[in-house]
Amino acid sequence: MSTLHTVNKTAADDALAACLKVASSGDSVLLIEDGVYQASKLAGNPQTRALKLFALREDADARGISLPATVTAIGYAQFVELACEHQRSVSWF
């Protein structure tokens, strides 16, 4: 059973760290809102090798964040698709 994790906080919060402690192979992590500030940190983390990484394009664009190659930019239509593809979701906030 795979899980979609959403993270909407900057590194000032421990939401992403808490997420990565429990995310397992086949899960997806989606950065939204201020979570997109952590895109580079997420991409460089060895704990994310078995995970699929995404960020909301409009939230990254609104903040002038360039996404690393391993973090896929998506829109809300794909966000909905991700929610449906995974059996459950956890929102880290």
Q: Looking only at residues 3 through 42 of this chain, which bind other proteins when binding is defined by CB under 8 A?
A: 6, 8, 32-34
43 SS3 class: helix
- Residue 80 binds to other proteins (criterion: CB under 8 A): yes
Q: Max Cα separation, the chain?
A: 35
Other CB atoms within 10 A of residue 4 CB: 22
Q: With respect to other proteins, which residue has the nearer C-beta, 10 or 70? A: 10
Q: What residues line the site for other proteins (CB under 8 A)?
A: 6, 8, 32-34, 59, 75-77, 79-81, 83-84, 88-89, 91-93
